[in-house]
Amino acid sequence: MSQIILETADGRARWCVWARVCREATTRPTGVGKEERQRQARDQTCQRVRSGLTQMVWAIEGDESSIHAEFHKVISGQLRFLG
């Protein structure tokens, strides 16, 4: 069985904003050049917010699978609700 963790786009966006503000507020000036600071900032940037349905999830066995495939396994054989 796959372990699926879905985060809301809003929650992740809030975390990214909070992390950036915290990181900027606690950063002290050093003798590091502008290019080095920019490289470090790129390494620490938040990932772009994505829909929970397009996220890739890791199965317990370590296989990468799509939530779409897992969803179709659950609802296969059922009629779609039309009303």
The model's pLDDT over 2-32, given as tens digits with 9 standing for 90+, comes to: 444 445 444 444 444 444 444 444 455 566 6
Is residue 2 included in any domain, yes or no?
Answer: no
Is residue 53 included in any domain, yes or no?
Answer: yes
The percentage of residues in the chain with a pLDDT greater than 90, rounded to a whole number, is: 0
**Domain range holding 15?**
9-75
Q: Which residue has the higher pLDDT, 75 or 39?
A: 39
Is residue 3 included in any domain, yes or no?
Answer: no
Is residue 61 included in any domain, yes or no?
Answer: yes
Is residue 54 included in any domain, yes or no?
Answer: yes
Contact predicate 13/49, CB 8 Å: yes
Is residue 1 included in any domain, yes or no?
Answer: no
Look up the pTM and report it. Answer: 0.17
Q: What local confidence, expressed as pLDDT, does residue 12 receive?
A: 46
Tally the domains of the chain: 1
For 23-71, how does the pLDDT look when each residue is reduced to its tens digit (9 = 90+)? Answer: 444 455 566 677 776 666 555 544 444 444 444 544 444 555 555 555 5
Is residue 82 included in any domain, yes or no?
Answer: no
